[in-house]
Amino acid sequence: MAMSVRLDGEESCFTYLMRIAYDGTRYHGWQYQEGVVTIEGILRETFERTFGHKISLCAASRTDTGVHAYDQVASFVTPLSLEPSRLQEIWNRTLPIDIVIRSMTMNDQLIHPRYDVKQKIYWYHIFTQRPLPFIASYGWYCGSSLNFEVMRLCLDSVVGTHDFRSFCTGDTYKSTVRTIDAINIQWLARFAAYRIAVRGRRFMHFMIRRIVGAAVMVSSRRPCNAQIFYNVFQQCDPRHHLVTAPASGLLLRKIYYT
């Protein structure tokens, strides 16, 4: 049954901004699609069921099937007159355990979740030992044979402004030039995992996963040769033999607007 909430008249509307975390394992990505379960679809469905009217969501990132998020940002417009914290509390009660609204505010500055982004941070996790079942869905088990010095060389080469045609999919982009501000690799001893942190404003479909997959494949060969990665990158052709990293290892960690 829909909740009965006071409306401030047909002409009154309020814009909210929320930050959402989710485990993407069982979802076909963020974006709503007919016939499949998506994060946006669940949010829209639970809102309508709870508050009695439909909303549209505008999100910062359309994460792919199986990709996780700690800091997805989305906005919506509604005539409901509720304090953001109260709206967040009620809505969270209706959501499945693998989706949670972490915060909600009035979008008084009319921030556009996608176009006003200053920087995004994605994490990719690589396990060097077989992970415990509790964390296995949040990384890529690659074994201990990777040469991480070669991997660093590969990843360092994509920092800056380049044509990333080799590491995207599809032909729908007017330009495949993007800027990666930084890539850092951190060893997480408690998980026997490496964390690759990628910073930039805009990324293309599969771009981070294709970069990571290519670097892993090159650094696992014997003998290792970063030149293979460089050559693929410079050819600007996505039809290469290097792999795409699995979605499960990718997490949208943080989005900045200032």
Please give the torsion angle defined by the CA atoms of residues 32, 69, 57 and 114, in that order, rounded to the nearest 10 degrees: -110
d(CA 135, CA 176): 34
- DSSP letter at 7 equals B
Q: 215-254 burial by CB neighbour count: b if 16+ within 10 A, else e?
A: bbbbbeeeebebebbeebbeeeebeeebebbbbbbbbbbb
Q: Is the dihedral of CA 82, 21, 38, 107 positive or negative?
A: positive
Show the beta-strand stretches assigned E in 83-223: 99-106, 119-127, 140-141, 160-163, 177-188, 193-200
Q: How far is CA 44 from CA 13, 35, 49, in A?
A: 17, 14, 9
Q: Phi and psi dihedrals of 141, rounded to 5?
A: -80, 110
Instruction: Note if 64 is an active site residue.
Output: yes
Total residue length of the chain: 258
* Residue 39 near residue 98, CB atoms below 8 Å: no
8, 64, 98, 116: which is the annotated catalytic residue? 64
* Residues 6+ positions from 27 with CB-CB distance below 8 Å: 37, 38, 39, 42, 65, 66
Point out the residues that are catalytic.
64
